[in-house]
Amino acid sequence: MKNVLSVDWEAWYQTASMSGRPCPVDPLLYGLESATDKMLEALGKTRATFFVVAANAVEYPALVRRIAHAGHEIALHGAVHQNIGCFSPEQFERAIIRAKHAVEDIAGASVIGFRAPNWSIGTGTLWAMDILVKAGFKYDASMTAAVFSRVRGGIPAGILEIPRSGFGPLHLPYGGGAFLRVYPYALTRRLILNANAAGRSAVIYVHPWEIDHRWTEVRRLDWRPRCIMGFGCDGLRSKLVGLFREFQLGSFQDIFFSRSSV
Ligand SMILES: [Zn+2]
């Protein structure tokens, strides 16, 4: 059974831990360009889904094309890296349709997948799902496992929800971000094996800033990004090598929408 590999393509200074503050150093030295190169090199031949922030795609179109030419799926991670709850339904619809078209033009491929920044589709923002259907998305990967367990009956027809992986009665997250960095590799491996034995693909997700984490050396960073985002970055690459060796991984499109799986 194949498991999903995904990359949330945002810069470290765009994350919630940075609270939208501007990049405190030269983004050309510590930003997306070098981090994307390092991420592509770390992935090697393994194909992933890159959820790209449209504003970043417009700023760095050549990077998006490089990702697409390397065989990865291009999907959308919002017009900007802001929670869905920051938008009214009308604002979200306008922004997401424009963003989808902009990214499709840049990538030269259709975009069928969406992941909200910060897993921000939940009970209060379920209206976004109808807008995603209207905009032509075929799958959404924005929900935590805990949220999905509560709202699964409310997902509209025409879109597949593939939530973040979770385990146990509390649907505790695993397989990406801080959880992949903090959990010992043996635990992540066991949880993926358990999901596969139950007939489910696990969803792995990483960020370029976890692979290229020189930003942790930037002075004047407060404790929040340094601790929450920086912890465990050193060991991530070897965990990925282990996952690549032990599991078959692919993009959402490969696993859920290729001819053999339809
Ligand atoms: Zn994100």
CATH number at residue 216: 3.20.20.370
| Distance (Å) from CA 19 to ligand 1 centroid | 12
pLDDT value at position 13?
79
For a pLDDT cut of 90, what percent of the chain falls above it?
A: 79
| Distance (Å) from CA 179 to ligand 1 centroid | 15
The number of beta carbons lying within 10 Å of the beta carbon of residue 71 is: 13
| Distance (Å) from CA 260 to ligand 1 centroid | 30
Dig out the tokens for 74 from the structure: 């291009």
Predicted model pTM: 0.94
In the predicted model, residues of the chain with pLDDT beneath 50 are 261-262
Give the tens place of pLDDT for each residue, 73-118: 999 999 999 999 999 999 999 999 999 999 999 999 999 999 999 9
**Number of domains the chain contains:** 1
| Distance (Å) from CA 184 to ligand 1 centroid | 23
| Distance (Å) from CA 120 to ligand 1 centroid | 10
Report yes or no: 129 and 155 within 8 Å, Cβ to Cβ.
yes
| Distance (Å) from CA 8 to ligand 1 centroid | 5
Report yes or no: 84 and 92 within 8 Å, Cβ to Cβ.
yes
pLDDT value at position 223?
74
| Distance (Å) from CA 172 to ligand 1 centroid | 19
Domain that holds residue 34: 2-261
